[in-house]
Amino acid sequence: MRKSRPVVFVVSLLLIAVLAASITGCSSNKKRRHSSSDPVAAATTTSSSAFRTCEDAWDAGKAPLRRQDPDYSAQLDRQDGKEDGVACLVRPTTAPR
C-alpha cells in the first residue's frame, strides 16, 4: 500500500496542473480566437460591404448574408436588431411609391 502512495500523489499533481492550465487559458486556441487573421473575425470587422442596405442584398439575390459570406457586414446585421451573425434574414418590405 505504501508503494502506491507516491504514484497517486504524482498523478494528482499532474491532474491539478492540467486543470490549472485549462482554467488560466494557457492553450494556443485562445490566442487564435483573438487573431486578426481569423476569417470570421475579419468578416465582422470589415466596414466596406457590397451592399448598403438589406434591400440591395435581396435585390441581388445574395440575402440572407451569414458571417462567413464575403458580403456580410456587421452594419447590415445590426439593421434587424439581433446581431446574431445573420444579416438580412427577412426581406424588407418596400413602401408603395
Q: What pLDDT, on the 0 to 100 scale, is given for residue 49?
A: 62
Contacts (Cβ under 8 Å, ≥6 apart) of 48:
73
Residues 6+ apart with CB under 8 A from 32: 38
How high is the pLDDT of residue 33? 47
- Domains in the chain: boundaries: 1-34, 35-97
Report pLDDT for 13: 85
pLDDT digits (tens, 9 = 90+) for 21-75: 777 776 555 444 444 444 554 444 444 568 888 888 888 988 888 999 888 888 8
Residue 94 has pLDDT above 50, yes or no: yes
